[in-house]
Amino acid sequence: QQPVQSPQAVILREGEDAVINCSSSKALYSVHWYRQKHGEAPVFLMILLKGGEQKGHEKISASFNEKKQQSSLYLTASQLSYSGTYFCGTDRVQAGTALIFGKGTTLSVSS
């Protein structure tokens, strides 16, 4: 079952902040965040594991609430380059399983 993302779209001016949420009805092992620009492949941003470990880009922060099966991606002081569609992907067991992606959140940052 696919995770649910909210909001569907966000419009920001440079320097503003945004939060993108991802929730699942099933217990999760990890949550992955990707950004996709139009016509390009998804680019890995961050992964958060059950138990608190995480790995990703320095300028990206996120949280994972295991009990609520929810994750949030925090985009602070947004830049024009942050524009794109953000997908969360979830998996339920360790290593090797496929990701089930949400429908995405489109972020538009203007100057």
Partner 1 sequence: EPEVTQTPSHQVTQMGQEVILRCVPISNHLYFYWYRQILGQKVEFLVSFYNNEISEKSEIFDDQFSVERPDGSNFTLKIRSTKLEDSAMYFCAQTSGKSSYNEQFFGPGTRLTVL
**Residue 80: strand, helix, or coil:** helix
Q: Indicate whether 52 belongs to the interface with partner 1 (CB under 8 A).
A: no
**Selection from 46, 20, 16, 37 nearest residue 84 by Cα:** 37
Find the shortest distance in angstroms from Cβ 17 to partner 1. Answer: 25
Choice between 14 and 53, CB closer to partner 1? 53
88, 73 in Cβ contact below 8 A? yes
Find the shortest distance in angstroms from Cβ 67 to partner 1. Answer: 20
74, 19 in Cβ contact below 8 A? yes
Q: Indicate whether 25 belongs to the interface with partner 1 (CB under 8 A).
A: no
Q: How many residues bind partner 1 (CB under 8 A)?
A: 28
Element (H, E) at 68: none
Residues 83-102 contacting partner 1, CB under 8 A: 87, 89, 91, 94-102
Find the shortest distance in angstroms from Cβ 14 to partner 1. Answer: 26
52, 19 in Cβ contact below 8 A? no
**Binding footprint of partner 1 on the chain (CB under 8 A):** 2, 30, 32, 34, 36, 40-44, 47, 49, 53, 55, 87, 89, 91, 94-104
